[in-house]
Amino acid sequence: MSAAHDLVVVGAGPAGAAAALAAADAGLDVLVVDEQRAAGGQILRTTPPEFGGRRKLPTGYPWAGELLDRARSHPGIAWRHGATVFGILPVTADASSAGGADASAGPGSADGADASAGPASAGFDVLTSDPADPAGSGRVRARRVLIASGAYDMPVAIPGWTLPGVMMAGAVQGFLKSQRLRVADRVVLAGSHPLLLIVADQLLAAGARIEEVAIARGIPSPVELLRALPAVPGHVRLLGELAGCVLRLLRAGVRISTGTVPTEVLGDGRVQGVRLARADRGWRQTGPARTVEADALVLGYGFHPSTELARQLGCALDWDSAQGGWIVRHDAQLETTVPGVHVAGEPSGVAGAEQSRAEGELAGLTIAAALGRPVPERALAGARRRIRSASRFSGVVQRMFAPRREALLELATPATEICRCETVTRSTIDGFLDENPFAGTADAVKLACRSGMGPCQGRYCESAVAGLVAKARGTGVGEAGRFAAHIPVKPVPLQAYVALADDPAEVP
């Protein structure tokens, strides 16, 4: 199966859906690929159609229903759901029978659409794999690609975190929202991100016993709250929702401990208890730990952007801890340092659904303009305004809830598994760093210790590995670097490669 699209969007969350819609409205032929079964990304997950009943989208995002409905029914947008993009290959100019794919200089180009002034790319081959449907595997030709791959819950390595029953906040919420499944009876939640309180409230409503909510930070100080005020207009509903969660939890008698961190997960074959301890303002353990019995520990310290495709393509990334770690560098048009590759939503910096959607809209418009479609200046200005407005709020959230990474790293003892896949402990990594004083990068540790070489491909250990390197060398995590990503950016079955060979990807 071969096809050529003006734009292939990876990810059907608020960013990808908004981008696809804006681009298709401007006349582009768009394909959206997402591993999930349905559009909506993480935040707009709903029960599957087989469950019947009405679609229930989260409150607080009044635009969500219309965005998804319009995008799904748009004749200019094709969808490939349940398929993983496992790599993207730039097409060299002579390999392309389509000729120069770009019309960056064409009339109607928006301000600065010459961001891709470099060698005009002849497009990209997007490699997809769908284990359940051979038609979803193969390569798709695109003139431009948009990486709207979202974010995943930030991993925090603590002793025992590999025990069955330790789950990320996003996982627990996903099971509740889209599967109507309560993952456990007695639950401890630990973290620092506001999502943790929302999940605790939802678990409570689902009949779970919330044994304790352990928040790493203290209660926001008056100064912090004052600083937050200018960001509030337009987001009152979101803050109100959060306040409602806290109220319901307290009313139900749930213990919410501030300045508290988890120091160990106990259990034999599954979670049976969690050790919690007091922490200072810098999140460092101060007092002795106490045991709380539970069947599950839910972790919610924030999010890391999903940047594997940007890495594999060679896009420049920058380290920004408050924005989620490694984020994809981009210009005002949301084009990355690789011409023709754009980014929107969490990979440009974790900023929440509102900003993801606004960035998606801008990316869709600027890509359409770069491909020579007329795009009204008014539409671009509107998208930019929405990004600015959303970023005032997300900036406050980022500052207020920024993870204290050094302190979290110290929760890992020598025996704690840093790399879950290859079961590499902290002592193995520290030992290697001790014996090899010239090893100064995360990738060096990966090669020597195998941390980052398993099926998750480093998504769950990179930040801790880089943190250990930074600590040993007295540098920052940004200097310790990151793991490189190669095709496949996620493991795919052999059949996916067979599909590639079958498919010479002729451009019609």
47 binds, options another protein, ligand FAD, none, Cβ within 5 to 8 A by partner type:
another protein
Q: How many residues sit close enough to ligand FAD to count as binding (CB under 6 A)?
A: 33
Pairing of strands 273-278, 290-293: antiparallel
C-alpha triplet 39, 52, 78: angle, nearest 5° = 25
Min dist CB 82 to ligand FAD, Å, is 9
Min dist CB 472 to ligand FAD, Å, is 32
Report if residue 485 touches ligand FAD, rule: CB under 6 A.
Answer: no
Could you give the angle at which helices 236-251 and 195-205 cross, rounded to 10 degrees? 50
Q: For ligand FAD, which is the closer residue by CB, 98 or 246?
A: 246
Identify the DSSP state of 127: E
Question: 């890391």: which residue's tokens?
Answer: 304
Among 25, 34, 102, 422, binds ligand FAD (CB under 6 A): 34
- Secondary structure, 3-state, 74-92: CCCEEEEECCEEEEEEECC
Pairing of strands 256-257, 209-215: parallel
Report if residue 345 touches ligand FAD, rule: CB under 6 A.
Answer: yes
Q: For ligand FAD, which is the closer residue by CB, 13 or 123?
A: 13
What is the full DSSP assignment across 4-38?
A: EEEEEEE--SHHHHHHHHHHHHTT--EEEEESSSS
Q: For another protein, which is the closer residue by CB, 58 or 220?
A: 58
| Cα dihedral 451, 453, 456, 457 in deg (nearest 10) | 100
Question: 């210009």: which residue's tokens?
Answer: 331
The Cα–Cα gap between 449 and 451 comes to: 5
Min dist CB 98 to ligand FAD, Å, is 24
Contact flags string 235-264 toward ligand FAD, x per CB under 6 A: ------------------------------
Among 27, 112, 174, 382, binds ligand FAD (CB under 6 A): 174
Structure-block tokens of residue 481: 């670097």
Report if residue 84 touches ligand FAD, rule: CB under 6 A.
Answer: yes
Min dist CB 384 to ligand FAD, Å, is 18
Among 7, 8, 9, 15, binds ligand FAD (CB under 6 A): 15
Q: For another protein, which is the closer residue by CB, 163 or 400?
A: 163
Give the number of other CB atoms < 10 A from CB of residue 464. 26
Q: Where on the chain is the footprint of another protein (CB under 8 A)?
A: 35-37, 42, 47-53, 82, 84, 131-132, 152-153, 162, 164-168, 170-172, 174-176, 179-186, 206-207, 269-270, 295, 306, 420-423, 454-456, 459-460, 490-491, 493, 495
Min dist CB 194 to ligand FAD, Å, is 8
Burial 267-280 (b: 16+ CB within 10 A, else e): beeebbbbbbbbbe
293 binds, options another protein, ligand FAD, none, Cβ within 5 to 8 A by partner type:
none
Structure-block tokens of residue 401: 């809830």
The Cα–Cα gap between 167 and 164 comes to: 8
| Cα dihedral 427, 166, 285, 321 in deg (nearest 10) | 80
Min dist CB 288 to ligand FAD, Å, is 33
Q: For another protein, which is the closer residue by CB, 287 or 455?
A: 455
Q: Which stretch binds ligand FAD (CB under 6 A): 11-19, 46-54, 277-285, 491-499?
A: 11-19
Task: Decide: 259 and 280 in contact? Cβ < 8 Å.
Answer: yes
Report if residue 382 touches ligand FAD, rule: CB under 6 A.
Answer: no
- Positions in the binding site for ligand FAD (CB under 6 A): 10-16, 33-36, 41-43, 84-85, 148-151, 170, 173-174, 195, 303, 306, 309, 345-346, 352-353, 356, 490
